[in-house]
């Protein structure tokens, strides 16, 4: 019982997903993202196998809609599930089971899908998608956060708020961004606050971490500290580091 967004960033090719709900620690199972492959969100009466199995299908070349069809076909509980995905080509697929509680539904755009169930109404999904589509000037992470915040302003989960999360993968095997708020009265606001902190300490170190092309990275503490001080002194320098 939640709503979420999955998307492919057309500028970088990164994949991302974000979720918010009145349920504890939902992001841990809802959000599934693999670099170069795609993103899958599973929710409603969640089937946690949809994430890894869906990514495996996408990795094998299946389109998002075909992968979802295969997941549903193998699941006798399909009517109680909601799942959506974006693939390496930026095409999306989504399904909302007939037994999902009102209000339930999904909307898709170019390279993006928003889906939710047990929501305050269709405006939650509509406004989440509209904000994402109107925020192309923002960094990918902030575009996803802004979209989810718009959905919350439209009513969010009809039961209230409890947890939220965001997960983004770029070219590396490890995530570019992985933040969760597992239990909080205003989880999206808390997620935004943590992201702003992340843009200081963690992002300063992340800029110099080892990569596939540079297996050592930069480990000179003075260099990393200088980057942190630069970010502290200049708010305009607090940008996503990759």
CA neighbor of 86 nearest in space, from 123, 31, 128: 31
Q: Which two tokens stand for residue 173?
A: 């095997």
Domain segments of the chain as ranges = 2-191, 202-237
Residue 1: pLDDT over 80: no
Reported pTM: 0.95
Percent of the chain with pLDDT over 70: 99
Q: Does residue 64 register a pLDDT over 60?
A: yes
Look at residue 241 in the predicted model and tell me its pLDDT. Answer: 67
Give the lowest-confidence range in 1-5, 7-11, 51-55: 1-5
The residue behind tokens 């090719």 is 13
Structure confidence at residue 238 as a pLDDT band (50, 70, 90): confident
Strand, coil or helix: 87? strand
> Does the domain formed by 2-191 have CATH 1.20.272.10?
no
The string of pLDDT tens digits covering residues 206-235 is: 889 999 999 999 999 999 999 999 999 988
Task: Give the rounded distance of the alpha carbon of 200 from its chain centre.
Answer: 21
Q: How confident is the model at residue 236 (pLDDT cuts 50, 70, 90)?
A: confident
- 22-33 pLDDT, tens digit each: 999 999 999 999
pLDDT in tens, 142-199: 999 999 999 999 999 999 999 999 999 999 999 999 999 999 999 999 999 999 999 9
> How far, in Å, are 57, 145, 190, 230 from residue 50 at the CA level?
10, 24, 28, 42
d(CA 5, CA 193): 20
């Amino acid at each position: 019982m939640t709503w979420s967004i999955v998307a492919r960033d057309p500028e970088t090719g990164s994949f991302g997903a974000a979720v918010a709900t009145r349920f504890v620690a939902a992001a841990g199972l809802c959000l599934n993202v693999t670099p170069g492959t795609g993103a899958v969100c599973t929710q409603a009466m969640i089937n946690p196998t949809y994430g890894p199995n869906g990514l495996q299908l996408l990795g094998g070349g299946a389109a998002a809609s075909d992968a979802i069809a295969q997941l549903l076909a193998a699941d006798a509980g399909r009517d109680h599930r909601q799942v959506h995905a974006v693939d390496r080509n930026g095409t999306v697929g989504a399904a909302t089971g007939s037994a999902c509680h009102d209000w339930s539904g999904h909307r898709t755009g170019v390279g993006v899908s928003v889906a939710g169930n047990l929501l305050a109404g269709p405006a939650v999904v509509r406004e989440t998608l509209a904000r994402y589509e109107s925020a192309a000037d923002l960094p990918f992470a902030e575009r996803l956060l802004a979209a989810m915040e718009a959905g919350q302003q439209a009513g969010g989960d009809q039961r209230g708020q409890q947890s939220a999360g965001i997960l983004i993968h770029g070219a590396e095997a490890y995530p570019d961004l992985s933040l969760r708020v597992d239990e909080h009265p205003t989880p999206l606001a808390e997620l935004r606050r943590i992201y702003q902190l992340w843009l200081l300490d963690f992002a300063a170190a992340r800029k110099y971490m080892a990569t596939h092309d540079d297996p050592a990275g930069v480990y000179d503490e003075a260099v990393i500290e200088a980057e942190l001080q630069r970010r502290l002194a200049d708010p305009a320098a607090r940008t996503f580091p990759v």
